[in-house]
Each structure stands twice: as structure tokens, then as C-alpha cells.
Amino acid sequence: MQNNILIIDDDIELCQLLKKCVENESLTADLAHNGMDGLNRIGQDNYNLIVLDVMLPGMDGFQVLQKIRKMSAVPVLMLTARIASADKVNSLRSGADDYLTKPFDVEEFIARVLSLIRRYTTLNNSPSKEQKQLSFRNLTIDLDTRIVHIGDGQVELYAKEFDILCYLAKNQGRILTKQQIYE
């Protein structure tokens, strides 16, 4: 099965360049030039990664990211010309999986894309994929909604924290190296 990504950016030339770059890595890419078009495409197709520009016309990238997180756990790589650390923190806290500042090196972009796809497909192709929840005493992890419950309360986790918790829960009883957890 070929991995498919969606690039949402209003810079048409950059989109075409990124599409060619990912296609050289045997990935397919769809393009959207505004938030609404991107959200419509997400509703129609399954993607292994979404590359999302922060500064989009109409609905900005943060608003698009919020809507994506309500419907999908697909990894999101944010792209932006903004360099303030507050923007990076806001992106990551809002559910982005990675953040890349423009201008960027294409090799680094490809490495990040492949890394995010690898992690996403590894998590989604684990033997317990059919399992919808993981339960341990008073802890419940809902894999579909990405919600964690402890007792009667709900715990809010960032995307990376949730992924790490799931990985550890699925590998309960095994000794894992830092490298295994990182990957």
C-alpha cells in the first residue's frame, strides 16, 4: 500500500515542489490551497500525513488543525515562516506532531515526512489494531477517540504524549530502550 500525504498551503509553487519531492520517495501527494479544501479532502480520503501551512487565507492553519484533530489522529507537520517559539509551542500544544520553519532544507523536510509516516504506520499496524481500548486497573485508553480516562476523570494529552502512552501500554511487560521509544 502506497503512503498518501496531503499538502495544504496557499503557495502553489511550493506545493508543486513538495509534491515532486515526496513523489521521488514513492509517496503520493494531494494538494489543497486553503483550509476548507484541505478539510474536504481529509473527509474524502485516508492520509498517512498532512503537511499544513500556518498562514492560510480565510481559516488559518491553527483553526484547520483544531478541526483535523476532531476527526483524525493523522500526523500533522506544520510549515510556517513564523519563527517565534510561541508559534511552535502553540502548534505542538494544538496537536501538531512536528513543526518546520520556512525556508527549510528539502532533505530535512523529506526526512521529517518519512519519520512521521513511519511512526504513524507502525502504531496503526500493530497486532492490537482491532482493539479499540486498552485498560489497566483504573486507566482506560480509547484508541479511536485518543482520550485517556483515569477513574472518573479525563486526562488531556498532547499528540506525542498519547502516542508514547499507547506504545508503552501495548508493550507492557517488555523492556524498551530509549531508541525504541523515540522511534
Same fold, 4-124 and 127-182: no
Q: Which class in CATH covers the domain with range 127-182?
A: mainly alpha
Where exactly are the structural domains of the chain?
Answer: 4-124, 127-182
Asked if pLDDT for residue 146 goes beyond 60, the answer is yes
Q: Which class in CATH covers the domain with range 4-124?
A: alpha beta
Asked if pLDDT for residue 100 goes beyond 80, the answer is yes
pTM, entire model: 0.67
Mean pLDDT over each residue of the chain, to the nearest integer: 85
Distances from the Cα of 69 to the Cα of 12, 92, 98, 168, 173, angstroms: 25, 12, 14, 22, 31
Asked if pLDDT for residue 108 goes beyond 80, the answer is yes
> pLDDT digits over 10-58, tens only?
999 999 999 999 999 989 999 999 999 999 998 888 899 999 999 998 8
C-alpha cell at 140: 482506560
| 87 Cβ neighbours under 8 A, 6+ residues apart | 54, 80
Asked if pLDDT for residue 1 goes beyond 60, the answer is no
